[in-house]
Structure 1
Amino acid sequence: MTVKNKKLLAVAASVTFAAQGAFAQTGGGTTGINAATSSLTSYVDPVSTLCLAIGAVVGIIGGVRVYIKWNSGDQDINKEIMGWGGSCLFLVLVSVVIKAFFGV
């Protein structure tokens, strides 16, 4: 075996053993994933509460607008009621779905 072949064999062996050492590390990123999961689930309750608060504000604004239209004699308030009521219902359901999705 020549010197060139010995050097090539030594480099190949060292690269192989270095790669095995890198693959042998424990954890595999699970600690990072667990930290991200716990951080994300800590935001679920505030976001759900924020959705409910926004839904309450939208409901109050919608109720006032429907009341004003109704008192002014507008006969076509059904579309207005459905629009504002649907948006409030959507925001309430989003807060429930967020909690159910993350299991909180």
Structure 2
Amino acid sequence: MKALRRFILLGLISFFFHMSGSETYGQSPPGVSKFQEVETDMKSFYVALSRLSFVVGAVSGLLGGLRVYNNWQMGRHQIDVQVVSWFGACLFLATLGFFLSGLYAVPLT
């Protein structure tokens, strides 16, 4: 039993030495280059994503304003909830650009 433990321990030690010796130094682990490639792609997409968020916010604001105006003209004067919800949606989409810049580590220009 004692010999079997020594044999297993010797096998594990030789396995770890073999694994560490076969690795060449100076190379990054697998997949790091792909992560760096995706990071540069996302930085290039940042400008498009931030502009898209502003466009969606502007369209949402226009549609919300038209909806509130239509309800006001139809005689529904309890429109406070609609105004707050559309304003919150537009505010969220307007600040989305700042969050995207922090997420992708792109400075605001």
Q: Which TM-score applies when normalising by structure 2? A: 0.69
Unaligned 5+ runs, structure 2: 1-13
Q: How many equivalent pairs are there?
A: 94
CA RMSD of aligned residues (A): 2.6
Which 5+ residue runs of structure 1 have no aligned equivalent? Answer: 1-12
Q: CA deviation at 1:100?
A: 2.9
1:103 deviates by 2.8
Q: Is the 1:45–1:99 Cα contact (8 Å) retained in structure 2? A: no
Whole-angstrom distance in 2 between the partners of 1:88 and 1:47: 16
**Aligned partners of 2:84 and 2:62: how far apart in 1?**
14
The 2-side partners of 1:31 and 1:23 are apart by: 16
Bigger Rg, structure 1 or 2: 1
**Percent identical across equivalent pairs?**
24
Residues of 2 paired with 1:58 and 1:49: CA distance? Answer: 14
Equivalents in 1 of 2:70, 2:45: separation in Å? 38
Structure 1 counterpart of 2:85 = 83
Return the offset for 1:25. Answer: 5.0
